Structure 1
């Protein structure tokens, strides 16, 4: 008898308290050892439409829901007693008659009328415009087409009547593969080709993404320690083709926040490692915290026991450059700080008698133009395009400035200082002429923040040939870099650039609000369009609330009341994020937090002194 667990179980398991989770783990281990379930007091769920649903007692209140047949035992759900029974009574587990994949299906007659939740418009200062009635999204698809992507027969009428708003409510009731295929159709107008049926319905690709066969106790421990993390490593149909495709040259995947660019990058790195057992892959991102997050997700997707993880190096841009520099020179780079650069620029400007240019401008010009592009002569400085720079400089002004920058470069070399841009530039020159490269494939996440020297380095680090360099990024999220031409540095992704259109992480309401703040089409320096038309989110959520205040005190008080309201609702402090525009405002946020604590103490309240905190990972944000 096969022993399996479903992602519906891991999702419900994660909602339990730590004490209950420990008890559930023990019960699941017992069930794996004795699949008859005799030690767990199995009871058939009589009110369920599926006669194979049973409940297993974990403790006085917690119940496991299992689906038991002669061939398999599937751990499907866990919850408190009433919630667990209610879940099973509304579902059946069966092979879809067309696709052949095992599905966990919500019984249509057990579901109240499917209607969209109340909608709220994100209100901007300008008057809202009346929108025309939205058309049915899937009116052009007949029953055969809907069945081919896994829509259960009793949900066909609901799907056919769904528009953009009602579909998000409906999607929560459909099997995952059906809702994803329909979302892809809504975004692209194309219906994904279904995978062919398999002899074992549990081995169909659609089933394998949601139901995991557990071979032994080690796999079970791993499954419970690293559950699905649906928004972390889960691969959706609109992303799969980019993971599996072979590219003849550098390739890029784009898309707005939440469309799964990072997920594509991780899966692509794993796929390249699995296809070639000797291949070495670099998976890099902008900062070390982002690289650490990639490493954690990589472990979920490809456990260490598979031999894949040891061949995938995860690193930050600067982290891998520092490693390569040490291999090349035998020492770590001695990076000049901003303080050192300011002092050298000040001295050079004084020596050259340069007037009319502020110290701030000189540092910015050095960082974003001279050093960023590795300029070493007046001719190079005279012809470089200063894209994104606010102030224009004519030939005479550049000629006046160049002796300052030349002196700074000479001084840094004399003092054995270098810069990160110089590190990347030097490594790129060293690597360009070598036929043997340390990695077989380079996968870059957050590629929109690559500086010119960094891009030149990764282009030189990547081997020539198919699938050498793959970049994931969104120019709409560019924070740290001015725009520049990738093609001019030898990374031409034209014809190999693709935009993801289905958003899995951001609610429809937040996405619509954000889209109004960006142009519909953004064009990069190589003429590639990043188009936001046609992007669709997979779930609904509360609308963002915009409030303005006459004074900072009124603003702080409103924030305090909002956060204390969340805390009183049972939301824990570490799930709340307070974001401010500049580092200087963080001080004010902490001060307001202390005021909030004192006011609560003075009221004689016995509530815990949690207050609000500054966080980058909160589930609620102000």
Structure 2
């Protein structure tokens, strides 16, 4: 039985037509399970640079490029480079080769270019030390003999005049070397690059036969950026090939990502990183790895809302089709749902809610299954209760945040307790009279909710956390062995109380993936104040896999000049963020009027559709729901099928129109940010409701929202507005 090894180099997987893809799957399945059935279709390549290269005739005018690797005394392996039209494959195959890097032991897939000059003397720019990397202090000897970069690639990057040229070179380079030169462009030291890519030790035994060395090199973490073994079933082959670009996120991990997904930690671990750096991918692989390590483990994978949780479940099932899912927290397997649903499921296990409600709410209240319309009730309470509270503070936003972050988080049940409690992290100071006035409104909120027979989500979270504490105090044990949290930056204090109470402090208890630049809900929190101790177990991802370098720069420019802090209260930076993909610059379109903007957006969408872009891979993002509906109508009136994307999943055949908030966790090939004018972004209602002391924080959330929206674009971004463009674009070059 032969083993199949896929490569990430293949760009043809998503471009092949359906019939050709099916031929590829059948060919590889036969090769894997009955090599003799396809032996006559596999040919050696005359004049090949690597004697292992083969052409596999799969039919329909296409050929596969393979490498036959025959270890000593073992089963054969075939490295599948990809499938191309016959003539293209015949031209490419003789130039392809496998090579074990002599410096670091990584397996490289190389394509020799016959047009390249054989002269290896340094160019004048390199010799004179005038290139960008030379100015940073890097030398050819360091890059080739210490890091292991290809000499010709070293020549090109050392001659590059700036980091933008290096970024373009990286976009056309494969495997670990692309990541390495991006790190070099950021000025990262060689030792740190070697550590990130796990290039510290060369694991290959030079005394082995060449094919044995190749198979040994495949186990190097950096080799796994470009190569991966595929399971021995046709279903596994089909999942990989039909996933588009060989479902790269499932199969190929950066060594740094792989380490975070695999490593065992002594306690809570926090992984941060910008949009598109693969935090969610790491979280999924970690859930899979924990389950593989112990199939009897109780694993909770949760995130900010149920929509994102549904996507996590689908992706985890694609990653590990046989994984066991748990229907409820506490059951064996992986439980996946939004954190609010998780709280409801935990609370449903409680037999007697009276002592729990007494501790949290101050009375043995009945706990309803209906949820409070929080902002509606706060507005009604503010109008009906004479609290004497300043009007700038008597707003639903301020009161709800105060109730959640201070009262519920600290289980305050009396005005005396509230008058004395420290309000760490709250932007507005309150004197005693103001606290009494706030408490009066909080009591009215609780009475009104109970009269309506409802309870708010933060109250459910606080009750669920107290239930877990009482349960463990009574010797009932914890409900989970491991808890993995995605989009953690948007969780508030009562969320963290629940998550901390789910699992005992200890090895691999909490794995936290977050990006404080993407916090678009709630107030900032500090994990240490909430019982989550990181103590040095924190790392950051910087390589973006989603967006192009041009779109990434645009998104980062939106954040420029603003001060962000992470969940450990440290300054959050965008330094070092890079993308190995390139594309067109984001296009900014100033429109004369709303009517003109609708016409320009429609024209842009129609042009993309005419170029063959799938409708469902195009998204229009707006700040509010009214604007969203307006663009759906405008597209429909102009003959373009569009649909509102809210709780429903994205469907085929329609352009997707959604709010910027709803776009969180999603990605699209082409994105239009519409209505980015000073009347909508930042939203005036949000800014007006914030007390003066919290307006800076409110603007940070609006800036983060625009950053999130911009970073949804994989290939192309367009920004439109009518009237005065948003001040949040001031840091973006015109």
TM-score, structure 1 length as denominator?
0.83
Q: Deviations over 1:345-400 (max 9, x none)?
A: 636853x44477779955334422214541433244444638576x7754323323
1:562 corresponding residue in structure 2: 604
1:157-172 matches, within 5 Å, as: 157-162=155-160, 163-172=162-171
Residues 30/111 of structure 1: CA separation in 2 closer, same or farther (3 Å cut): farther
| Residue 426 to residue 614, structure 1, CA distance change in 2 (3 Å) | same
Alignment of 1:80-479 (within 5 A): 80-110=85-115, 134-136=132-134, 140=138, 143=141, 146=144, 149-162=147-160, 163-187=162-186, 188-189=188-189, 190-192=192-194, 193-194=198-199, 195=201, 196-197=203-204, 200=212, 201-202=214-215, 203-205=218-220, 206-209=222-225, 210-212=227-229, 214-217=231-234, 219-221=236-238, 223-224=240-241, 228-231=246-249, 234-276=252-294, 278-304=296-322, 311-329=333-351, 334-338=369-373, 342=376, 346=380, 350=384, 352-354=385-387, 361-373=394-406, 374=408, 375-382=412-419, 383=421, 385=423, 394-413=431-450, 416-433=453-470, 434=472, 436-479=477-520
Check whether the contact 1:48–1:88 (CA below 8 A) recurs between aligned residues: yes
Match of 1:496 among 537, 558, 580: 537
2:125 match: none
Corresponding residue number in structure 1 for 2:704:
none
Higher alpha-carbon deviation: 396-405 or 508-517: 396-405
How far off its partner does 1:240 sit?
A: 3.7
- Please name the residue that 1:586 is paired with: 628
Per the alignment, residue 27 of structure 2 pairs with 27
Once the 2 structures are TM-superposed, how far is the Cα of residue 245 of structure 1 from its aligned partner? 4.4
Q: In structure 2, how many angstroms separate the alpha carbons of the residues matched to 1:168 and 1:148?
A: 21
- On the 8 A contact 1:447/1:473 being kept in 2, the answer is yes
3-state SS, counterpart of residue 508 of structure 2: coil
Contact 1:78 1:84 in 2 (8 A): yes
Separation in 2, partners of 1:619, 1:138: 35
Contact 2:324-2:334 at 8 Å conserved across structures = no
| Distance of 1:577 and 1:13 partners within structure 2 | 24
Native 8 Å contact 2:317 2:323 kept in 1: no
Unaligned 5+ runs, structure 1: 114-131, 600-609
Closer, same or farther in 2 for the Cα pair 1:526/1:16, shift >3 Å? closer
- Structure 2: distance between partners of 1:213 and 1:594: 44
The change in CA–CA distance for 1:215 and 1:542 in structure 2 (over 3 A counts) is: same
Displacement of 1:453 in angstroms is: 0.5
User: Which segment drifts farther, 223-232 or 484-493?
Assistant: 223-232
The answer on 1:505 being equivalent to 2:527 is no
Larger displacement relative to structure 2 (299-308 or 285-294): 299-308
Q: CA deviation at 1:185?
A: 4.7
User: Is the Cα–Cα contact under 8 Å of residues 5 and 214 in structure 1 kept in the other structure?
Assistant: no
Q: How far is 1:169 from its partner?
A: 3.1
Structure-2 change in CA distance of 1:417 and 1:496 (3 Å): same
Unaligned runs of 5+ in 2: 71-75, 119-129, 354-366, 642-652, 673-734
Shift of 1:545: 1.2
Measured in 2, the distance between the counterparts of 1:508 and 1:529 equals: 24
Flag the 1:420–1:32 CA change in 2: closer, same or farther, 3 A: same
Out of 547, 562, 578, the position equivalent to 1:536 is 578
Q: Is 1:614 equivalent to 2:639 in the alignment?
A: no
CA distance in 2, matches of 1:598, 1:440: 50
Give the alignment's Cα RMSD to 1 decimal.
3.7
Distance apart, 1:477 and its partner CA:
0.5
